[in-house]
Each structure stands twice: as C-alpha cells, then as structure tokens.
Structure 1
Amino acid sequence: MKDWVGVAGFGILFASVIFFNLEMDGYLFELPNFKEANLIKTPDHIALVWYFLPFYAILHAVPDKLTGVILMGLSIAALFLLPWLDRCEVRSYYHRSKLHLINII
C-alpha cells in the first residue's frame, strides 16, 4: 500500500509539472526556448544547453577547428576506456567496498 501512495504522489507531481507549469521558471527547461521566435533578427546571445558546454569549451580552447573536433571525439572515446583502467585483482562486486557500490549507482 505504501508503494501506491508514493506512485500516486509522484504521478500527481509529474502531471502538475507537465500540464500546468512546464517551464518551471527555467529550472526544468531553458527559458529562451519558450520565447517567441523573431524571424528577422538573430538573437545576440545564443544560450547553449548545459550538456553541450564541455564540448563548446573544448572547441574554444583550441584555435584549429579540426583539432577541436578530434579532441571532442577523444573525450567521448575516453569514457569507453574507463572499464579497462581498473587494476584491481578482484572483479566481483561482492568483495568491493560499500563506497565503490555507491559510486556505481
């Protein structure tokens, strides 16, 4: 029964955000996306979405565009190499510390 109360509470909160206050003053979605577009004038400052900011910083750190694109690809490829960086002899999660299990979640 407790689970259904939590599910109903989450459903009410979710529905109220989706149907009544979708933009939530910029906390959920970016406010510039809800402004009316001007077809004649380009905006002075184009606001990037937060998940593109690291790649934008990589492009601005390097003067050459091709080198910036290569570095962006290498930054994504580095994430795929992370599982092989583990030097621990024990591979089972049962023998690891609780902190390691919390970091996985």
Structure 2
Amino acid sequence: MISNKVIKKMPEHKQVQGIQSFYEPALLVLNEIHEQKKLSLRKKGYDENNAAVTKIELSQLMARRFRITIYLADQIVSSLVKSNSVESFGGYVKPKVVEV
C-alpha cells in the first residue's frame, strides 16, 4: 500500500511518475463505472449520453481496488482532468470520446 508519507518523500518527478502510472488502470475503472451508469439510464428510459461518474465515487473505488489512499486516488483523478484524458464538469467525470 502506498502511503502519503511515501509519496511526499519522493522527488517531484517521481511523484508525477507514480501518479501517471495509474492512468491506464484508472481509465479502465472509469470506463467500467461509466458503462454501468449508461446501462442504468437505458433501463430507466433516459438518454444514456447523460451518464457520468462522480469524482468521489471514482476515487473511492480506485482506493479500494488498487489499495491506495483516498489522497492518492484524488491526486490521480485531478491529474487525469488536468491532462485532458477525461471530460470533467463540476464534480463529475466521464471518458473522453475519441472520434476517428
């Protein structure tokens, strides 16, 4: 388990690398939750394009799955938003739609 003390003692570039190493697993978790939200809206007869995941829900699930602290999970979510890897609006995030 990565603790706050371990993260804070690392040099800054190592902190960034540590956070970025969680990008791919975090996006997989986000996609999974987003699909569940879309399915729920579809069952209720609502537009599934309105599906979004709260940042808190995402960070709590990442903390449980990856066995990391909530602090680190929040840092990962913030970093994903800053890197434009996800769409963010208010307290919600959803995967970015990649158009080919």
| TM-score, normalisation: structure 1 | 0.25
Which structure has the larger Rg? 1
| TM-score, normalisation: structure 2 | 0.26
Q: Which is strand-richer, 1 or 2?
A: 2
* Structure with larger RCO (C-alpha < 8 A, sep 6+): 2
